[in-house]
């Protein structure tokens, strides 16, 4: 296993501009009459989704929100892993590893990080505190494909790091 390195999301503006441009230039097929979802994703649905990504989605706001949490990458068995490691201020917090599968994302866990790691600050019982080790799962933009053995080795490595202080 390689070293664990700090990570920060920093997508170049030129990449976002390129995506916006490519979405604006999409050549859409004609919809099949009456097919709706029986023949795949309806064209109208994809057009709405592309329009949202082009004009409505605020990538910089999400990038800022995700970067509020400590992020790391490491390589295990040739697989790059990206994860958050949010420590609890409670000294007896129980370690907790949460993973997601494709096509879900790390963003789905952001609202529970505070209550899980610092329940006292959220008006909850501090004995329920967890130190959150949240790993991104295969298929996301940072981790790539991840084998089960690599996930288990990461969990073991994180437990060892916690024991070392």
**pLDDT score at 125:** 86
Q: Is the pLDDT of residue 138 over 90?
A: no
Each residue of 8-54: pLDDT tens digit? 999 999 999 999 999 999 999 998 888 889 888 999 999 999 999 99
**pLDDT score at 139:** 47
Euclidean distance between CA atoms 101 and 126, whole angstroms: 29
Task: For strands 94-99 and 71-76, give the pairing.
Answer: unpaired
Q: Is the pLDDT of residue 154 over 90?
A: no
Euclidean distance between CA atoms 120 and 52, whole angstroms: 38
Each residue of 95-132: pLDDT tens digit? 888 888 878 888 888 898 888 888 889 898 888 777 65
> Which residues, in sequence order, are bridge partners of residue 49?
none
- DSSP category for residue 69: S
What tokens appear for 65 in the block?
A: 């929100």
- Rounded to an integer, the average pLDDT of 63-75 is 93
């Amino acid at each position: 296993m390689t070293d664990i390195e700090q990570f920060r999301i920093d997508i170049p503006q030129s990449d976002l501009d390129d995506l916006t441009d490519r979405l604006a230039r999409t050549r859409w097929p004609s919809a099949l009459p009456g097919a709706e979802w029986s023949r795949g994703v309806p064209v109208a649905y994809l057009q709405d989704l592309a329009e949202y990504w082009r004009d409505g989605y605020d990538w910089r706001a999400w990038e800022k929100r995700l970067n509020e949490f400590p992020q790391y990458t490491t390589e295990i068995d040739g697989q790059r892993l990206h994860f958050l490691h949010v420590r609890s201020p409670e000294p007896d917090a129980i370690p907790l590893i949460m993973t997601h599968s494709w096509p879900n994302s790390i963003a789905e866990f952001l609202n529970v990080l505070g209550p899980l790691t610092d329940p006292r600050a959220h008006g909850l019982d501090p004995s329920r505190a967890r130190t959150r080790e949240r790993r991104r799962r295969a298929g996301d933009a940072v981790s790539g494909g991840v084998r089960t053995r690599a996930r288990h080795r990461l969990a073991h490595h994180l437990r060892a790091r916690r024991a070392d202080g």
